[in-house]
Structure 1
């Protein structure tokens, strides 16, 4: 999809972050990026993961 829509070469695709890809595809409105996962949220997820 990125190759066809954005004319990105493979190395450009793999170098992009998910947020950059979403923005380039117009999936995010300017300034609407979601905040990242903070340490407390990661800890809560790890506590519920039985495989740690």
Structure 2
């Protein structure tokens, strides 16, 4: 069995969704996966350059 990807989940929930830690830790893995699908899409693979550029524009790193 593959362990749950906590590092990726925390980066997405706290970094991309910008959830407060309290709200992140109250989510179920299924709720987090649903949010991932809504934001990223249910691609099942890595982001393409267009999707990455879009995310970088929507969530800039302190520019």
Q: TM-score, normalised by structure 2?
A: 0.39
Q: TM-score, normalised by structure 1?
A: 0.47
If you compute each CA radius of gyration, which structure gives the higher value, 1 or 2?
Answer: 1
Task: Judging by fraction of residues, say which structure has more helix.
Answer: 2
